[in-house]
Every structure is written in structure tokens, then in C-alpha cells.
Amino acid sequence: MSHRQYDRIETPESLIASLRDMLGDRLSTAAAVLEQHGKDESWHAASPPDAVVFATSTEEVAKVVTLCAEHNVPIVPFGTGSSLEGHVAALRGGICIDLSRMDAILEVNNEDLDCRVQAGVTREQLNDHLRDTGLFFPIDPGANASIGGMTATRASGTNAVRYGTMRDNVLNLTVVTPDGKIIKTANRARKSSAGYDLTRLFVGSEGTLGVITEIALKLYGIPEAMSAAVCAFPSVDAAVDTVILTIQAGIPVARIEFLDEMQIRAINNYSKTDHKEAPTLFFEFHGTEAGVKEQAEFVQSVAEEFGAEAFQWATRQEDRNKLWAARHKAYYASLQLEPGKAGMPTDVCVPISKLAEAIRETRADCDASPLTCTIVGHVGDGNFHTLILLDPEDPAQMAEAKRLHDRMVERALKLGGTCTGEHGIGYGKLDFMEAEHGPDTIALMRAIKGAIDPKGLMNPGKLIPGL
């Protein structure tokens, strides 16, 4: 999977010279910059672009795209490079457009609970900016990703069970299309029936249909009361059954995260916490004082039925922050279980009624494997990850990791689920697309790609197999 080979398309010197004339030192061909932009946070092999441009406006992006299109040179948009499936690798070379300097928060409309930001704004930057407004933006992938990258990967995180994913929270987009035109996908209305839903076509398009330069987002009022709790369970089944019953009862939990015993061990070592090494749920409740109390009491009673230990509460903000910081570092904590190894993250998502079966069989596969694996998941959505630790240079370990990964995906698809709940396809998961969607749906995706990007220049080799 990591060594998929593509022929590189030569980037003419004349294009680099024109871009340099336009951008000056905001164009770089330095080896370290190219290397950094050709690699994401995962184990997938790097493929550097031929140049990186640091754009500062939508109009500038449009000029860069127009020039690249005239020279038939590939374009790879780049946010913070935190994606996990080889998304930013410039498989055919070309120009990387780094959006990180487009980091202006353009509007915050308190009365309408929305905002408009440039694509390079990160989720933490947005929430820092909103701190005094009483509003917040909930979507929280573990990394401090850019809003443009989160939109392009249809990201979500621990809050999605309550607030949805990027699919649910983007109101409209400004996009530079592959021929250099600037389009807007919708207005600010919360709902609209006016034509094809282009907003949602670009959400999750992984840079294959255009460059997103501005995003209008929904915001939420900071809840009156919040509390978080940790609870250890006697078995994986007991923890997962608690989740299933909670969701089926319609309890509006804000976060409900599963961590298996191995993941808790990793977190304790890495974040210097002292959680019991057992299958564990992290919860967070949002609402009025009375609502939070009611939700928590219900979930506690369900957990007790399944033999859980007493809830350990984190009501002070600093304790909640510590808890969720440890959760967000779960990936790096797992890597530290075997320093020097890389991690192959998986990302299946199944209907909630199938979650216990999916996690139980996955844990059994992991226990029977010589490789170390941790399991962690946004289980309120039926979404969970194993991180399989491996040496990518060892063919036997790679084959074993791939076997485990394939079995997880096959199981998820059999249960009516997906090969990726939130990380996306990049080039790492291309092999699963046809099994998940079937040939006719893939053909339609190809037709859409062909209509919008007939030259196939936008992030080639990603998302759709065979392109």
C-alpha cells in the first residue's frame, strides 16, 4: 500500500519561474520544504512536490491554479499535513499549494451562530478567537488541523456524536475550480433546496475537485453546564453494550469514547495519568445543570448494570482539558509503546447495533496477532480505530498488519459499515473503494471527477481508484 508507484509529470522550469515572479519568496523548492509537504503523519511513503507555494488570498490561489492548468501540472492542496492515508503525497509531482498563511477569521456572526474563515485557520485558532463570544466550534480531530483540510477530509472527532461531522457543519464554501474560476457553493441560510448540493460534494473531496479557500461554519453556544467522567468496565463487551444502550435510549451525550486496556496503558505511560488498565469509556455531558445531571444519572445506571466501576468525575475545566488532551494524544501514546515503530491506523465505522460484534472480533484478531495493537474509538457513532504498530521495512510485519486491516474492513462492510469513518481515502484506502461502493457508483464518481477536473490535475492518484 505504501509503495504505489505513479509516473511523475515533469514541472517545466518556465512554470516555476512564472510562479516565482508572482510570489517571490513565497515559493520554495528547498529540499526540506518539499519533503515536509510530501508526507503526512502516517506510515505511508512520502512523495514530495516539485515546488511549494504559500498562498495568501483566493485570487492568488486562482492565479496559481490557472498557471498550473495551462502547463498541465498537478496541484496538491495542503493544510497542516495531519492526514493519515497519504493524502498530501504528490504522487505525480507538481505544485503544492500550502494554505496555512490564509489564516484570517473573516466574520463571526454571533446572532446567526456562524462564521467565515480562510482555509488555513486551525480549529484551535478558531476556538481561541471565539473564547470571549460564548460560542465554540465543536469538531475536533486529534490534530490541530486546518479548517480547509478538515473540510476536504470530511473530518470529525470526539464531539461528532452530538454535533455531527464537517458534513453537518459547513454552510458554504469558496472554491477555486481546476480551471482557475472562483465559485461559491451556497449562501448563509441554514437550509436550502436550490439545486445540487455542491457544498457537500466538495466536503470530503480531498483536494481532487478544487482548492477550498474560504469556509462558512456553524457555531454553537457554550453549554451552561459540562461535566466529564471516566469509567472502567470488566470487559470490552460491557463497555460497548453501555454505549449501545445509551445511544439507543436517545441520550444526547456530547462525547462517548472507548479505549481498550492496551490504549489505557499507553496513555498512562505517555500522559502520566493513572487510569485503571481496563476497557474504559470517557464521557462528556453538555446542557443545562439539570439536563447534565439527568443524562449522567441515566448513563451511570446503565453502566452499573454492565458491572462498571464508579464514575470518576472531572467537573473543573482544567480536569476536563487534561482528560481530553490525554485522549487526543492517544495516537502518539500508542506509538511510544514500541518506540521506533510506525503505526498503521484503521478507521472503520459500523451501525451502532453492530458495534459490539465489530470490536469484539477485532480485539480477538489483535490478541491472536504477534503485532501490538491498541483500540480507541468515537463509539457513539460506531466509529473505532486500531493502531497497529509495525516496522514498514519488515515485509512479514507489513503483511500481517495488512491482513489485520483487511479483515477489519471486510467485517465492517459485511456489517453495513465503511472502511473509513473520518480519515478518508487518500491513496492508502483506494483498494477498498470498489468493495464498499460497487463498480457503478465508482463509475459515477469518476464521471463527476472528469466533469470538474477533465485534465485530472487536482491531487492525482487519490480517492478514486484507477485515476
Ligand X SMILES: Cc1cc2nc3c(=O)[nH]c(=O)nc-3n(C[C@H](O)[C@H](O)[C@H](O)COP(=O)(O)OP(=O)(O)OC[C@H]3O[C@@H](n4cnc5c(N)ncnc54)[C@H](O)[C@@H]3O)c2cc1C
Torsion of CA 394, 399, 404, 408, to 10 degrees: 120
Distance in angstroms (rounded) separating the CA atoms of residues 467 and 450: 10
Residue number with CB closer to ligand X (206 or 260)? 206
Residue number with CB closer to ligand X (23 or 333)? 333
Among 137-145, 271-279, 296-304, 362-370, which window interacts with ligand X (CB under 6 A)?
137-145
Q: Which three cell numbers stand for residue 418?
A: 465503511
Residue number with CB closer to ligand X (118 or 242)? 118
- Coil vs helix vs strand at 92: coil
DSSP class of 418: B
User: Smallest distance from the beta carbon of 144 to ligand X, in angstroms?
Assistant: 8
Of 263, 346, 420, 459, the one binding ligand X (CB under 6 A) is 459
Of 48, 74, 77, 279, the one binding ligand X (CB under 6 A) is 77
Of 211, 337, 376, 415, the one binding ligand X (CB under 6 A) is 211
Of 38, 48, 74, 81, the one binding ligand X (CB under 6 A) is 81
Number of residues that bind ligand X (CB under 6 A): 37
Of 149, 204, 417, 461, the one binding ligand X (CB under 6 A) is 149
Ranges within 9-48 binding ligand X (CB under 6 A): 40-41
**Cβ atoms within 10 A of the Cβ of 89, count?**
29
- Coil vs helix vs strand at 296: helix
Answer yes or no: are the C-beta atoms of 161 and 381 closer than 8 Å.
yes
Of 60, 206, 241, 381, the one binding ligand X (CB under 6 A) is 206
- Coil vs helix vs strand at 112: helix
Verify binding: residue 141, ligand X, rule CB under 6 A.
Answer: yes
**Beta bridge pairs of residue 107:** 116
Answer yes or no: are the C-beta atoms of 124 and 325 closer than 8 Å.
no
Strand 114-118 and strand 105-109: pairing?
antiparallel
By rule CB under 6 A, what string of x and - marks binding of each residue 392-431 to ligand X? ------------------------------xx--------
Answer yes or no: are the C-beta atoms of 419 and 381 closer than 8 Å.
no
Strand 51-54 and strand 27-28: pairing?
antiparallel
DSSP class of 379: G
Q: Which residue is nearest to ligand X (CB)?
A: 149
User: Smallest distance from the beta carbon of 132 to ligand X, in angstroms?
Assistant: 25
Residue number with CB closer to ligand X (60 or 241)? 60
With CA atoms as reference, report the closest residue to 417 among 329, 336, 350, 359.
350
**Cβ atoms within 10 A of the Cβ of 456, count?**
17
Answer yes or no: are the C-beta atoms of 146 and 167 closer than 8 Å.
no
Verify binding: residue 143, ligand X, rule CB under 6 A.
Answer: yes
Of 87, 162, 255, 405, the one binding ligand X (CB under 6 A) is 87
Of 48, 79, 138, 417, the one binding ligand X (CB under 6 A) is 79
User: Smallest distance from the beta carbon of 247 to ligand X, in angstroms?
Assistant: 18
Phi and psi for 62 in degrees, rounded to 5? Answer: -60, -40
User: Smallest distance from the beta carbon of 277 to ligand X, in angstroms?
Assistant: 22
Distance in angstroms (rounded) separating the CA atoms of residues 237 and 357: 9
Residue number with CB closer to ligand X (90 or 308)? 90
Verify binding: residue 68, ligand X, rule CB under 6 A.
Answer: no
Cα within 13 Å of Cα(235), Cβ side: 10
Verify binding: residue 82, ligand X, rule CB under 6 A.
Answer: yes
* Contact residues for ligand X, defined by CB under 6 A: 40-41, 76-84, 87-88, 99, 119, 141-143, 145-146, 148-150, 152-153, 155-157, 206-207, 211-212, 331, 422-423, 459, 462
